Amino acid sequence: MAMQDLNIQDYQKKLFPYAYNILGTYDDAKDAVQDVMAKYYSTGKKDIDNESSYLIKSVINQAINIKKRNSKSIDSGISLPEPVSTESADTNLKRKEIISYSLLVLLESVNTKERAVFILKEAFDYSHEEIGDTLQISTEGSRKLLSRAKIKLGALKRVETNYSFAGTLQLENYIDAVKNGNVKKLEEMLVKDISVMVDGGKLRIVSAFESGVEQVIQLMTYVYAAYQTKTEIKIVSVNHQPALLFYQDGLLVNCQVFDFAKDTTHITGIYSIVDPEKLKNFHKF
């Protein structure tokens, strides 16, 4: 397929999920795609048999290099992925290829190559032969990296989320209970070992991590009473998971992504993004 048959915008939509799933940030993913596209245009590759496959391969490897570089400079604090709206139909990107938020968080526990192999196999249904060709490793090497990634991910405590569940009613009940400080109702909705992870970036936050139903209820009700009573709250889908968006004077100031248990009634985890740098691009997706 010739470049003119698939314009730049179409390619960016196609390539972005590959970069984002590896990097977890909008700006870095955008840079990876733009760098590859710019290089491709400037060199005018005319001997490429499969243009789409070539660009995908290039973006994946560019994203891996950026991820490796960024990993060296990350501090020891909590750093959550940048949330992506999966609320609307495919407009700016192919949303169905964006992986779930909780899986993105878990993937931070594996190395960059393991992450890339896992994503290509599980999210894009690549064969080990295709992965080997893309990452320039052997087929057996791909299998070993996938096995290692699954072992590491499986060793982590994880409650399976029902990703097809919209969660609108449950989140309506949850936010109503938080607003009213209804501890009994919250105790019914949250699992006993629930955890909350908070990424505030450079902002001072109340707590970066809490676990246990009592501690989580205290944190979430305090944060709402102290900082969120005047916010507008919307229930949306973020990375295919139920989420709450908090707006202050029209500005997005907090995104909370929820993990639900298999029964779809109990909340098992909350990821709270407060960092303005990770919220500024939310409506660009």
pLDDT tens across the length of the chain (285 residues): 444 445 667 788 889 999 999 999 999 999 999 999 988 888 766 677 888 899 999 999 999 999 999 876 656 578 999 999 988 655 555 678 899 999 999 999 999 999 999 999 999 999 999 999 999 999 999 999 999 999 998 865 554 555 555 578 899 999 999 999 999 999 999 999 999 999 999 898 888 999 999 999 999 999 999 999 999 999 999 999 999 999 999 999 999 999 998 888 899 999 999 999 999 999 876
- Residue ranges making up the domain that contains 263: 168-284
List, for residues 183-213, the tens digit of each pLDDT value: 999 999 999 999 999 999 989 888 899 999 9
| 280 plus 172 within the same structural domain | yes
Instruction: Quote the tokens at residue 156.
Output: 């982590």
The amino acid at 270: I
Q: How many domains does the chain have?
A: 2
pTM metric for this prediction: 0.90
End position of a domain, from candidates 58, 73, 88? 73
Residue 92 within a domain = no
Residue 208 within a domain = yes
DSSP-derived 3-state class of residue 230: coil
| Nearest alpha-carbon partner for 240 in 83, 116, 106, 121 | 83
DSSP-derived 3-state class of residue 223: helix
Q: Quick count: other Cβ atoms within 10 Å of Cβ 83?
A: 27
Strand order in the sheet with 251-260: 209-211, 190-199, 267-273, 251-260, 241-248, 232-238
Q: Are 16 and 29 in contact (CB under 8 A)?
A: yes
Residue 126 within a domain = no
Residue 59 within a domain = yes
Contacts of residue 103, Cβ cutoff 8 Å, sequence gap at least 6: none
End position of a domain, from candidates 55, 73, 91? 73
Q: Which pLDDT score is estimated for 254?
A: 98
Residue 56 within a domain = yes
List, for residues 120-131, the tens digit of each pLDDT value: 999 999 999 999
Instruction: Quote the tokens at residue 211.
Output: 């676990």
Residue 90 within a domain = no
Residue 271 within a domain = yes
Instruction: Look up the CATH number of the domain holding residue 187.
Output: 3.10.450.50
Instruction: Quote the tokens at residue 233.
Output: 């709250």
Q: Are 34 and 63 in contact (CB under 8 A)?
A: no
Contacts of residue 2, Cβ cutoff 8 Å, sequence gap at least 6: 51
End position of a domain, from candidates 73, 105, 134? 73
Residue 212 within a domain = yes
